[in-house]
């Protein structure tokens, strides 16, 4: 779950492909699945992921009432115990694989920020393939990369609604179309960020 | 339950009152930008004090140089290395609740008014060089920085007015069909992004830029130049 440096926006433009971020979710309320084995505390080196069922208030404040029963909260805790990020997460099975659709929500620190400043930021969905969690002891996570999709677009093999700026691309495909592409590429290792693949072990 | 409802309402109101436009592209391109250093300095409006400085001498330029580092220097194009491209950029900053906020600010003119296109860069908690937060331009990729617009008036000596366009009002105009402009809206996650290109945005400002109804009542500032020791 390490973060990629994103470059310096309008000032410094360092072009590279990275993680796939989407405007629309890869999941609808009807697709949601739940598995209690995913919930708990997961460790990778000194980093911790805490996955729990999302509380009703967080969901309702986000306007996501239809997701109430199966929405998850994923908290990323760094080695010094600071909450680095907090996401709403939605588990979905697409083809043969399980994926988590992650959508940022404010950590306690982020809630202290000037709301005006925060309002300039658009939250995007990030996508992770999750494996092995059914055992209840190991959670393997691989973040979906934009590399393969951008290559396919470049080679005119696929067309996907998107917008591009100097600092990256926002995929604008709707949920059904996103699921179609994920189903197609899910087993291809190039579909994932190599250094974003991590195996967590359950601690609680 | 009642408390939760009230709290939800408060959160919703707070978000609505504080929303910027969320433009993916800025309305003014590089060759349309205006430089006028009359905006440089410290400005006070009530308890709010902002600081505007040229990008080249800003804290952001300093941090940027650190962030780029020698290993990434060769990845920059000549265009990007050209400091002239930064000559029309300013950095606006202010301190609020023990944190300092930095935005890029560029100016353009259309219709009868000057406009500032602003983008957030960084929030630095007091005493920290926190470049890891996802709510800054240096790290994190699941949140995307967008542009907001404020009408800017510096025609009167030692006075500066910034009226922010209210994103919620523009959103309501677009969703009701009153303004036709390319956008994306995800009702479920309440995500809204204006995807119009520069020329479409320029036309929008030309048409509605002098309509007071599109401006935020909360984020309307009449600054007077001040000196900070």
**A161-191 residue pLDDT tens:** 999 988 888 999 999 999 999 999 999 999 9
Number of domains in chain A: 1
Tell me what pLDDT residue A15 has.
35
Band (pLDDT 50/70/90 cuts) for residue A11 is: very low
3-state secondary structure of B113: strand
In chain B, what are the domain boundaries? Answer: 19-226
- A104-118, A120-134, B11-25: range with lowest mean pLDDT: B11-25
- Work out the angle between the directed axes of helices A147-154 and A175-185 (0-180°, nearest 10): 100
3-state secondary structure of B100: strand
Instruction: Give CA–CA dist A26/A175, Å, rounded.
Output: 5
Nearest CA in chain B to A172: B184
Instruction: Give CA–CA dist B85/A137, Å, rounded.
Output: 53
Residue A70 placed within a domain: yes
pLDDT digits (tens, 9 = 90+) for A115-132: 999 999 999 999 999 999
* CA A139 to mean position of chain CA atoms: 15
Nearest by CB to residue B134, choosing from A3, A25, A103, is A3
Substitution target from A55, A119, A166 for chain B, most B beta carbons within 10 A: A119
Selection from B182, B165, B202 nearest residue B18 by Cα: B165
Q: How far is B225 from chain A (nearest CA, A)?
A: 23
Tell me what pLDDT residue B83 has.
54
Q: B80 touching A, CB under 8 A?
A: yes
Nearest CA in chain B to A17: B141
Residue A162 placed within a domain: yes
- Contact call for B190 and A113, based on CB within 8 A: no
Tell me what pLDDT residue A70 has.
85
Name every chain A residue with its beta carbon within 8 A of the beta carbon of B191.
23, 122-123
The predicted model scores a pTM of: 0.85
Q: Which residue has the higher pLDDT, A12 or B34?
A: B34
What is each CA distance from A49 to B54, B126, B140, in whole angstroms?
Answer: 42, 28, 17
Instruction: Give CA–CA dist A120/A110, Å, rounded.
Output: 14
- Dihedral sign, Cα of residue A51, residue A54, residue A58, residue A64: positive
Q: A164 touching B, CB under 8 A?
A: no
Q: Which residue has the higher pLDDT, A105 or A58?
A: A105
* Residue B206 near residue B111, CB atoms below 8 Å: yes
Instruction: Give the CB-side neighbour count of residue B160, counting CA atoms within 13 A.
Output: 25
Phi, psi of A153 (to 5 degrees): -65, -45
Name every chain A residue with its beta carbon within 8 A of the beta carbon of B20.
116, 119-120
Selection from B182, B169, B64 nearest residue A170 by Cα: B182
Band (pLDDT 50/70/90 cuts) for residue A12 is: very low
B window 142-181, beta carbon within 8 A of A = 142-148, 167
3-state secondary structure of A147: helix
Strands (E) across chain B are located at 41-45, 48-54, 90-96, 99-110, 113-125, 143-145, 148-153, 159-165, 183-186, 191-194, 215-226
- Contact call for A119 and B121, based on CB within 8 A: no
* H-helix or E-strand spanning residue A103: strand A97-105
Residue A58 placed within a domain: yes
Instruction: Give CA–CA dist B56/A128, Å, rounded.
Output: 39
* Residue A110 near residue A83, CB atoms below 8 Å: no
Instruction: Give CA–CA dist A72/A90, Å, rounded.
Output: 6
Could you give the ipTM of this predicted complex?
A: 0.86
Q: How far is B45 from chain A (nearest CA, A)?
A: 16
B window 28-47, beta carbon within 8 A of A = none
A window 125-144, beta carbon within 8 A of B = 125-126
pLDDT digits (tens, 9 = 90+) for B63-103: 776 555 545 545 555 555 555 567 899 999 999 988 899 99
Which domain does A30 fall in, by range? Answer: 21-202
Neighbours of B212 (CB within 10 A): 9
Q: A80 touching B, CB under 8 A?
A: no
Instruction: Give CA–CA dist B142/A74, Å, rounded.
Output: 14
Tell me what pLDDT residue B82 has.
53
Name every chain A residue with its beta carbon within 8 A of the beta carbon of B15.
115, 119
Please return the burial class of B131, using the count of CB atoms within 10 Å of its CB with bins 0-12, 13-18 and 19+. middle
Instruction: Give CA–CA dist B123/B34, Å, rounded.
Output: 26
Nearest CA in chain A to B23: A120
Nearest by CB to residue B137, choosing from A8, A25, A103, is A8
Phi, psi of A61 (to 5 degrees): -65, -25
Q: B77 touching A, CB under 8 A?
A: yes
Tell me what pLDDT residue A122 has.
92
Per DSSP, B83 falls in state G
């Amino acid at each position: 779950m390490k973060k990629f440096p994103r470059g310096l926006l309008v000032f410094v433009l360092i072009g590279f492909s990275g993680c796939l971020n989407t405007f629309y979710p890869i999941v609808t309320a009807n697709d949601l699945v739940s598995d209690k084995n995913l919930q708990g505390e997961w460790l990778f080196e000194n980093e911790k992921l805490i996955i729990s069922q999302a509380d009703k208030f967080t969901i309702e404040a986000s306007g996501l009432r239809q997701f109430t029963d199966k929405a998850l909260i994923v908290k990323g805790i760094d080695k010094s115990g600071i909450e680095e990020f907090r996401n709403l997460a939605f588990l979905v099975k697409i083809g043969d694989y399980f994926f988590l659709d992650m959508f940022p929500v404010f950590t306690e620190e982020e809630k202290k920020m000037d709301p005006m400043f925060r309002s300039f930021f658009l939250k995007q969905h990030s996508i992770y393939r999750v494996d092995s969690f059914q055992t209840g002891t190991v959670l393997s996570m691989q973040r979906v990369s934009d590399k393969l999709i951008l290559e396919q677009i470049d080679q005119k093999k696929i067309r996907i609604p998107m917008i591009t700026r100097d600092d990256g691309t926002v995929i604008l495909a709707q949920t059904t179309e996103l699921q179609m592409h994920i189903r197609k590429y899910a087993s291809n290792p190039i579909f994932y960020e190599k250094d974003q693949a991590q195996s967590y072990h359950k601690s609680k | 339950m009642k408390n939760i409802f009230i709290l939800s309402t408060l959160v919703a109101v707070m978000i609505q009152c504080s929303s910027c436009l969320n433009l993916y592209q800025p309305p003014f391109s590089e060759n349309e930008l205006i430089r006028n250093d009359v905006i440089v300095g410290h400005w006070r409006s009530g308890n709010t004090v902002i600081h505007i400085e040229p990008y080249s001498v800003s804290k952001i330029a300093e941090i940027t140089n650190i962030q780029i580092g020698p290993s990434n220097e060769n990845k920059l194009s000549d265009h990007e290395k050209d400091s002239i491209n930064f000559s029309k950029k300013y950095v606006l900053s202010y301190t609020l609740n023990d944190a300092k906020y930095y935005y890029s600010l560029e100016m353009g003119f259309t219709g009868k008014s000057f406009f500032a296109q602003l983008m957030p860069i960084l929030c630095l908690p007091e005493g920290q060089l926190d470049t890891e937060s996802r709510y800054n331009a240096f790290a994190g990729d699941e949140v995307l920085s967008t542009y907001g617009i404020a009408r800017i008036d510096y025609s009167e000596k030692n006075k500066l007015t910034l009226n922010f366009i209210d994103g919620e009002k523009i959103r309501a105009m677009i969703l009701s069909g009153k303004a036709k402009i390319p956008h994306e809206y995800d009702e479920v996650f309440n995500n809204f992004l204006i995807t119009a290109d520069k020329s479409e945005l320029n036309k929008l400002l030309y048409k509605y830029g002098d309509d007071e109804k599109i401006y935020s009542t909360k984020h309307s500032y009449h600054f007077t130049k001040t000196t900070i020791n």
